Amino acid sequence: MIIGITGVSGAGKSTVSKMICDLKKAKYVNADEIAKELSKNRRRIL
């Protein structure tokens, strides 16, 4: 199962995501953090 959560900055997306992962024993992947890390290293994302 893949769940995507969207919303404005400060809405609590990460908090809710982590809570869901704890309840469902699932992995948490923050795509925004991955994109920031890739751009920091000047790698092309697409």
For the chain, give every domain's residue range.
1-46
- Rounded to 5°, angle at Cα 21 from 16 and 22: 100
Predicted local distance difference test score (pLDDT) of residue 24: 93
Kindly list the distances between the CA atom of residue 27 and the CA atoms of 10, 12, 23, 43, in Å, as whole numbers in the listed order: 22, 18, 11, 25
pLDDT for 8-25, tens place per residue? 989 999 999 999 999 999
What pTM was computed for the model? 0.64
- Rounded to 5°, angle at Cα 2 from 26 and 21: 25
